Amino acid sequence: MCGRYVLTTPGEVLAELFELDEKPHLAPRWNIAPTQEVAIVRRRDEGRELALARWGLIPSWAKDAAIGNRMINARAETVAEKPAFRDSFRKRRCLMPADGFYEWQEIGARKQPWLLRRKGGAPFAFAALWSRWRDPASAQPLETCALLTTTPNALASRVHDRMPVILPREAFALWLDPGAEPGALGALLAPLPAEQMEAWSVSTRVNDPRHDDASCVARAAADGGPPGAA
């Protein structure tokens, strides 16, 4: 599961990376958590747009928004068949811009948080889905999203048994293409190679989503290098 991530890249860099017509104005975030409003990039007839959606996908058929609290991740292996995600996988794929993400490594009775990111801190995109749900009581629309996870690479597996699907820039167009074949999409849902990533342990301060500042990504005082290193 991926339940926290980071996005601090300036808007002009995001506009270039995601080929947006306008520079987005996003405040830097160091500890983005489920149910919060997050940035997604999706395709429109006139090009790509950056929109805001609540993290935790609510299927269009859901009677209660609370289901979204459990739908922050979709497994790449089953996303095409699961009732909660299959319609969005066919029709409403999107990208979630990020700089890094957190995972928690079980060490005895405690859990140690780690920051994982591309080497050098380059921004990237999670493969993601979005949905539009209407509250049965008010008929008000709510747009929500979920990111896809896959088996971990050699680095991430030292921390957790899953990792987000990180798409290279050259895969953005295919992922957003409404006419893409399922087989071609499935080929994208692989872990990013471990040699393209780096990781370090961080303070348990990140455990509390109310903490959202640069100290969340700082190396822990006792950081001993890559997870699993001697």
Q: Is 2 a catalytic residue?
A: yes
Distance CA 94, CA 55 (A): 13
Look at strands 73-75 and 141-150 and give their pairing: parallel
Contact 60, 83 (CB under 8 A): no
114, two tokens: 């780690």
Distance CA 153, CA 124 (A): 17
Query: Which one from 94, 103, 143, 216 is the annotated catalytic residue?
Result: 103
Q: Is 103 a catalytic residue?
A: yes
Could you tell me where the DSSP H helices lie in the chain? Answer: 11-17, 86-91, 172-176, 182-186
* Amino acid in position 117: R
Segment 211-218 long-range contacts (CB within 8 Å, at least 24 positions apart): 211/31, 212/29, 212/30, 212/31, 212/32, 213/30, 213/31, 214/30, 215/30, 216/6, 216/30, 216/31, 217/6, 217/30, 217/100, 217/115
Contact 114, 39 (CB under 8 A): no
Query: Which one from 2, 94, 145, 216 is the annotated catalytic residue?
Result: 2
Distance CA 163, CA 148 (A): 9
Distance CA 105, CA 60 (A): 34
Catalytic residue numbers read 2, 103
